[in-house]
């Protein structure tokens, strides 16, 4: 067998959904065996026929029955099946049903819900549920502001620059390669929020690789701490996020490996220019016009979708947030609201935690997050109807209207642009006036 054939066979093996299903079973994920009334008519409940193959895209998750196992089909003994085996199967079914969980993160735009599944290892379930949140919006909207408001604004700004580059290029790669999610069955879909997106590469894996590694690159030498601590934390962070996506049934092993390597490649190419980009954003007089125009053009012209998915909206959020944070840092710098420590003060020492300092951190987080959430809610309420009126699209069904490209790009870009502007300008202004700077 030639080298190319071996490589092709390896790629096919790494993409095999059975590998994902095996990892899920190893970690204690299983489909609950149905019996009694629950098993009478799975299709009447809206569930998929367990004997049918899944949509190659991964399909919307529904409660599924199981085939014949141990002389039991859906909890009822098969003709000729051993009675003791059937009873044992029923007891096992009951134990599994007691531990069944509805899938995570229902998609409000499509109405999809994750499958109902059984859990035999709750610590791993909570660990990987936390790990996947490290690549979701809730984490980003709290983590980046925390760095900018409380720890180191320079590190926070440059971290966002790299995050935008990595996530944007990752989303574009997905829509160029267009590989579907792992097939279900055999994979159990624990989460369907991103199920409409393509699978290759995993942008969760890219984010989970880029953020901790960029933090180490930005902070080592600027802050005093042992390098080994940073590398250990980065490794654990990256591993947790990557494994969580396999656990949830959203990516193949190949998707994860490709996402990890792609993120490393992007860091190697663009990280040397992050200081230049940050200085341009702050100092150059017309940088806001260039930033807004560039980010908007990338969102409109970079790629097209054959069908709707959450990918386009996520990309608009990423670009809008990045543009808003960059423009906010420009305004804040020009007004003298933000000043980075001089070079002769480096490396910085981690300050001791006092009651006063801890209290200010908590107040900044509470006040700042309330401001951001209110800004997000208000901007959505304003921009969606306004965009519908501007483009002549009926707003009776908001869910459907939000899937039009004109509406989706407009409201997400403006909404998250204002959120980003708030992070680096409006909220710091508020802190300045109330004495929390």
With contact defined as beta carbons under 8 Å apart, do 423 and 325 qualify? Answer: yes
Q: What is the dihedral of CA 285, 289, 294, 295, to 10 degrees?
A: 110
User: Rounded to an integer, what distance in angstroms lies between the CA atom of residue 32 and that of residue 94?
Assistant: 9
User: Rounded to an integer, what distance in angstroms lies between the CA atom of residue 319 and that of residue 163?
Assistant: 10
- φ, ψ (nearest 5 deg) of residue 68: -70, 125
User: Rounded to an integer, what distance in angstroms lies between the CA atom of residue 85 and that of residue 73?
Assistant: 12
Could you confirm whether 35 is annotated as catalytic?
no
Please count the other Cβ atoms lying within 10 Å of the Cβ belonging to residue 396: 8
Query: Which tokens sit at 270?
Result: 């663009």
User: Rounded to an integer, what distance in angstroms lies between the CA atom of residue 419 and that of residue 416?
Assistant: 5
Torsion over CA: 111, 114, 115, 119 (sign): negative
Residue appearing with tokens 């654990």: 236
With contact defined as beta carbons under 8 Å apart, do 195 and 109 qualify? Answer: no
> Which residue in 393, 369, 435 sits closest to 140, CA to CA?
369
- Say which of 35, 251, 295, 330 is annotated catalytic: 251
> Which residue in 121, 191, 169 sits closest to 302, CA to CA?
169
With contact defined as beta carbons under 8 Å apart, do 413 and 298 qualify? Answer: no
- Say which of 35, 204, 295, 330 is annotated catalytic: 204
User: Rounded to an integer, what distance in angstroms lies between the CA atom of residue 67 and that of residue 89?
Assistant: 12
> Which residue in 420, 250, 256, 259 sits closest to 324, CA to CA?
420
Could you confirm whether 204 is annotated as catalytic?
yes
Residue 52, CB-side half-sphere exposure with 13 Å CA sphere: 11
Distances (CA, A) of 55 to 60, 180, 182, 297, 394: 9, 9, 10, 34, 31
- φ, ψ (nearest 5 deg) of residue 405: -60, -45
User: Which residues in 164-173 are b (16+ Cβ under 10 Å) and which e?
Assistant: bbbbbbbbeb
User: Which residues face 119 on adjacent strands?
Assistant: 29
User: Rounded to an integer, what distance in angstroms lies between the CA atom of residue 254 and that of residue 389?
Assistant: 44
Residue positions annotated with a catalytic role? 204, 251
């Amino acid at each position: 067998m030639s080298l190319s054939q071996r490589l092709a066979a390896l790629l096919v093996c790494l993409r095999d959904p059975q590998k994902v299903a095996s990892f899920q079973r190893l970690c204690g994920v299983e489909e609950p065996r149905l019996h009694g009334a629950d098993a009478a008519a799975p299709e009447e409940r809206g569930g998929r026929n367990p004997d049918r193959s899944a949509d190659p895209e991964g399909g919307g998750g529904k409660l599924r029955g199981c085939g014949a196992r141990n002389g039991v089909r859906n909890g009822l003994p098969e003709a000729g099946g051993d009675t003791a085996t059937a009873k044992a199967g029923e007891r096992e079914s009951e134990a599994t049903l007691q531990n069944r969980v509805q899938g995570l993160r229902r998609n409000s735009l499509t109405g999809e819900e994750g499958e109902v599944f059984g859990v035999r290892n709750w610590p791993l379930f909570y660990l990987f549920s936390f790990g996947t949140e490290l690549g979701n919006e809730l984490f980003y909207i709290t983590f980046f502001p925390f760095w900018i408001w409380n720890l180191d604004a320079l590190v926070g700004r440059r971290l966002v620059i790299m995050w935008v580059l990595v996530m944007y290029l990752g989303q574009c790669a997905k829509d160029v390669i267009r590989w579907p999610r792992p097939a279900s069955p055999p994979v159990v879909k624990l989460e369907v929020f991103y199920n409409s997106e393509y699978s290759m590469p995993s942008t969760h894996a890219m984010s989970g690789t880029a953020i901790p590694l960029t933090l180490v690159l930005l902070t080592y030498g600027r802050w005093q701490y042992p390098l080994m601590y940073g590398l250990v934390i980065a490794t654990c962070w990256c591993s947790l996020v990557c494994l969580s996506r396999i656990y949830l049934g959203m990516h193949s092993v190949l998707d994860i490996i490709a996402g990890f390597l792609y993120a490393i490649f992007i860091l190697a190419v663009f990280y040397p220019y992050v200081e230049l980009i940050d200085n341009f954003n702050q100092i150059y007089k017309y940088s806001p016009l260039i930033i807004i125009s560039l980010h908007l053009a990338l969102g409109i012209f970079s790629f097209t979708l054959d069908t709707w998915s959450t990918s386009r909206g996520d990309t608009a959020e990423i670009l809008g947030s990045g543009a808003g944070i960059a423009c906010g840092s420009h305004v804040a710098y020009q007004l003298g609201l933000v000043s980075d420590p001089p070079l002769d003060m480096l490396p910085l020492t981690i300050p001791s935690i006092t009651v006063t300092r801890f209290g200010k951190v908590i107040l900044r987080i509470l006040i700042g997050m309330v401001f951001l959430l209110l800004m997000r809610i208000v901007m959505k309420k304003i921009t969606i109807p306004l965009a519908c009126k501007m483009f002549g699209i009926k707003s009776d069904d908001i869910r459907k209207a939000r899937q039009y490209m004109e509406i989706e790009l407009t409201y997400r870009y403006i909404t998250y642009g204002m959120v980003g502007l708030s992070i680096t300008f409006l909220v710091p202004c508020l802190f300045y006036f109330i004495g929390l700077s």
